Structure 1
Amino acid sequence: FKKGRVLFGFDRARRAMAEEGRAIVCEGQLDVLRAQAAGFLEAVAPLGTGFTEEHAKLIGRFAKQIVICLDADVAGDRAAGRLGGILVEGGQGWGGLAKAELGVKVVRLPAGDDPDSLIRRGGAEAFREKLDAAVDFLDFYVDWQSKQEGDTPTGRRRVVEAVAKLLGMVESAVSRAGLVARAASRLGLGENLVMDEVEKARGSAAKIALRSERLEPPGIQLAKPLEIHPVLRELFLLVLGQPGKFPEVERRVDELWLKNLGGEELYVKIRDSYRNDMWTGLADLLPQLLPEEQDFLTGLEAGVWERLEEEEWDKALEGLGGRLEGDYLRREAERLSAKLRAMGAADPSAVEVLRQQGELLKRRARLTAGASKANA
């Protein structure tokens, strides 16, 4: 079990994230339960304040904006500051960095409050008002760094360096220039001075990256993306959309059809997890998977299938089952054909192979006829 890969409330929140275009990140599980009960279904929480890049990537699959909503205490502020750095550093593929707001905002709660207590005391409207008043992360980050470092000359220098390092992570020169202008205004400094610090930070980061590449031991490669058969990919979408209907998937899909297909091992893991009562949704499943399997599943737009009516879901499953069976029969027919070509003319087993091939062709014909009738 890896806390750094799990978000509490994610199964219920992912569809709302896609619809609202944002994720509300709380600190505790009780905060998430209270927020979701009040109608903020896009609320999630790491386990504690241990935010990781994996959390950021998971949220980024579904939402372009993150609203950080943490307890009004020192630990919460520190967690918000660290989370923002992870989001910026790991989020350059979201497209959110092209926006001046970095795609990240921070909710400042009253002292002594957390989302749970605020909603209990003031209702959903009180929480909504705080969300509407969320400040841009860049403004929060400058203020947070200033609070940490103090108002001494050395402290101010460290603040500028920290902000420069943050902005240096933004690849787009146009976006970077706009952010520098805003940061300079917030810091009360000239744009040229801040831009010089940003370029220094980018240069230092490039040198560190180059040294890391040179020191990397030979033979170590990044994990390749998981190769999944297209029909299995659609099947996984169905399964993630309605996990409770997995027994129907087992009844319709013969595992023999999946033999040697990309994604067969992942399907077996999902099946075993369900049979052992270890999985009712994606958040339960992720800790049991390899990193590349986690990346694949979290990248699926499962919310699309959740909107299907039950009859449509059943029809989609029926179609996918037919396609998997047809693909299996095709592969088996090709295997038998290759076996026949390798046999000698007098080989007595050729008759049996021809019989098997004939049976496969009949099955394919019946399957094709059934599909045509269903589509008529």
Structure 2
Amino acid sequence: MPGRIPKEFIDELLLRVDIVEVIDARVPLKKAGKDYKACCPFHDEKTPSFTVSPAKQFYHCFGCGAHGTAIGFLMEYEHQSFPEAVEELAGRVGLQLPRESLVSSEKTEASANLFRVLEDAARYYRSQLRAHAPAIEYLKRRGISGEIAAAFGLGYAPDGWDHLVRVLGKEAPQRELLIQAGLAVRKEGGGCYDRFRDRVMFPIHDYRGRIIGFGGRVIGKGEPKYLNSPETPLFHKGKELYGLYRARDAIRSAGRVIVVEGYMDVVGLAQFGIDNAVATLGTATTREHLERLFRFAQEVVFCFDGDRAGREAAWRALEAALPILHEGRQISFAFLPEGEDPDSLVRVEGAQALQDRLGSGLSLPEYFFQTLGAKVDLGRLDGRARLVELATPLLSKMPAGAFQQMMLDRLADISRIPSTAAAERKTAAGPSSRDFRRNYAGPKPPPSVVRVAAALLVQNPALIAEIDDPELLGEADLPGMEVFQKIVQLLREQPRLNTAALIEHFRESEHEPVLARLATWSHSSLAQDVRAEFQGALSQLRLKAIETVTDRLVQKGKVFGLSEAEKTELNRLLTAKQEIRQTAPTH
């Protein structure tokens, strides 16, 4: 199928890649016995529960349950697509991607051309900035140094209708490419003209540092003040954040990210050494924005104007955040004096004063109840009831847990209707009687022999050499045998697979979660002599399979009789059954 990456390539890739090196480059690991550990990058914790196994080439967090291969880690941590993760790992180990796979969007000819024309446009805008004194003077008036302008790749789109088109769109296919990249606008009567004119240009990068679009700030009079690239195959405003690629390391180091409203705010803060700021691209903060930011830091601070528009933007951000506020994630809102923005205020007060403002902003709970409380009269009974009506639907969107319960408790305190919090807690967060029985019903039964055999095989794929009778084992009528048989079949066909490659074969299938659990399952039987344990489990499976087949033959013999071949087979199986019982230990 065109566009698919061959499974054989994935297998070879995961045999060559070292997941420890991949993760350690992003999350420093420490040796812990045969494995490596770190605090999980996917949730907030103080005691390391994130484990990376070089033997399995697999990671697992015992705190939040995150797990996967090197491919899965890049997809989760770097927000890469599957093809993009494969491409990065292949480059790391020197593997050439199959030409026929068309690995990722940038590998398609159209997308590669879009990236190229955007880079060409960025170079053109930078050259124009150097040649236009008014644009340079504008940046100087805004306090932007040449070093910062260069660091952010700032440029200038000259005034006029077709400067860029005449340089990069001399032929019809080139002009079409400019339109697709959002750099030019199609005319009704044919042809096109520059989208950006007389504007300081801010290139927008994706997570890999590739230019995917632009923002333009008008220098003189004109509307709109800020103009962004339109939606294109590469650029999606609801997913991207200006400055994130450059700010990633600073965000991780600071432990928090500052979200501001404009490009100039990000650049201006960087001028004063505040490098952990990003901006949304002319759109409201989305859940995707926040999920991306929480990958880099557990604290997000929104720094908005204190006017009506700023507070409306803050409330929309709060609503987007509620469904993803797991424990450990924090959001604050710092509202600036009217008429000020981060860029202007940092120049008046200095970096430390602005940092102090950010640190003393309203926490999400404070802002939540302050905003809703201002809409009702808390001195009246019906006003407090109205507060409950306004708050409850919003709080129900939060993940069940301690934070949601504390918000409900706070609502109960303010409204003086404690039964509300109790009822909400019961429905939203309280354990059911079934949960109680599951957790406290006494010691757990021993694991099934199929689970033990499957886990041993997933964690030690070389054990496939111990299986010489897969057809017989398939006769065992036991829960889980379907998955076990699929693992056996795959490893018999490709015995070189390691744990990571084995699991990747089942990506996006119904069996993927099962294999992931088997790969991370810890049990005493898995820590012993794995070969002996596996042989013991196989003996039990063979016994079950033999019993199933012999019962079937005996029943057939009673009704229809057996052929000579069937009689011979029945005797052989009965003898094998007796030998297994005499030599194999029972589990």
Q: Please state which band the TM-score falls in when normalised by the shorter chain.
A: 0.3 to 0.5
Taking CA–CA contacts closer than 8 Å with sequence separation of 6 or more, which of the two structures ends up with the larger relative contact order?
1
TM value normalised by structure 1: 0.47
Structure whose CA Rg is larger = 2
TM value normalised by structure 2: 0.33
**Which structure dedicates a bigger proportion of its chain to helix?**
1
**Which structure dedicates a bigger proportion of its chain to strand?**
2
